[in-house]
Amino acid sequence: MPFKQTITLAFTGASGMPYGIRLLEILLAQGVRVFLLYSQVAQIVAHQEMDLTLPSRAQEAETYFNDCFKAAKGQLKVFGREEWFAPVASGSNPADAMVICPCTMGTLSAVASGLNQKLIERAADVMLKENRKLILVPREMPFSAIHLENMLRLARCGAIILPANPGFYHHPKNIQDIVDFVVARILDHLGVEHTLMPRWGEEDE
């Protein structure tokens, strides 16, 4: 089946794994093809924050998330951390956009410096060099001058820095509402339709 667009989604070891998992769920529900990558530390954080055990093998992870979110055949592809023949590693076959959510300061620094030691960093580098959309979702506080300088460097290269800072004007009633606020903003920047929350000035139906 034809997919609306292809998004590379990466989980790294920052706090905020519920944002990444919810984003994956909505992307698949909206008919987007997803190339999923995640770091070893992301597996630790997923277990700590969500009691979620992310499989170490890419094929097992693919099966797990397909079962969880009922993805269509071929809609979700998971790649290993050093799977250099993955399509995300080459500018000849880039995704339409990439999101790193959550994004560690280490990953952000590596991308800002052009380091490509892991597939996540290489995939982000491809987005920048091919002038495709790259969204980084850091969840850190406070930011040091080094963090801010790296973010500024990436913003000047065209990346979108979208910190996981939820608003409260939609009167969240639970943690899921707070998570959905951030995910909704990411989806807006990706051009993916959603009904996670009412927009400013609109009535909540």
User: What are the domain boundaries of the chain?
Assistant: 6-190
Residue 203 has pLDDT above 70, yes or no: no
Is residue 63 annotated as involved in ligand binding? no
The CATH code that applies to domain 6-190 is 3.40.50.1950
Instruction: Using a cut of 0.75, tell me whether the model's pTM lies above it.
Output: yes
- pLDDT of the residue at 198: 83
Is residue 139 annotated as involved in ligand binding? yes
- pLDDT of the residue at 2: 77
Is residue 19 annotated as involved in ligand binding? no
pLDDT confidence bin for 204, thresholds 50/70/90: low
pLDDT confidence bin for 202, thresholds 50/70/90: confident
Residue with token string 């052009």: 114
Is residue 15 annotated as involved in ligand binding? yes
Q: Cα-flanking dihedrals φ and ψ of residue 116, to 5°?
A: -130, 50
